[in-house]
Amino acid sequence: MPGTFRELLLRRGLKADLPVLEINEPGWCTDTKELFIGTSSGNKLIAKTFIPNAPDWQGTPPSSASDAINRIATAVVGLLGGPIP
C-alpha cells in the first residue's frame, strides 16, 4: 500500500560477527560505524558513518542528519536497482 510505513528491523553488533544478510536486510556494525545491506551478491557497504562532516563521505560531507539519511537511502536504492518496496 503506497504511503504505508512498515517496521524495519536492524541487525547490529560487531563487524566480526556480521552474518550474511538477507536481501534488503540492513546490518549496523557498532564498532566500525558501518551500515551494510544484504543483496543477491552478498553484503554491500552503504555508509561508513552517520556523522556529518566525517572524512569518509564521498564528495561534500552532508550538511545535516537528514541530508546524510537521504544520501544513504539513495545509495540503497541504487544498489537494489529500483525503489524500495
- Report if residue 16 sits inside a domain: yes
pTM: 0.55
- Report if residue 27 sits inside a domain: yes
Segment 48-75, tens digit of pLDDT: 765 555 556 677 777 777 777 777 777 7
- Report if residue 4 sits inside a domain: no
User: Does an H or E element contain 73, and which?
Assistant: helix 65-80
Q: What is the DSSP letter of 18?
A: -
Domain span at residue 20? 12-80
What are the grid coordinates assigned to 47, written together? 555508509
The count of domains in the chain is 1
Segment 18-46, tens digit of pLDDT: 999 998 889 989 888 888 999 999 999 98
What are the grid coordinates assigned to 81, written together? 536497482
Q: Looking at residue 24, what is its pLDDT? A: 86
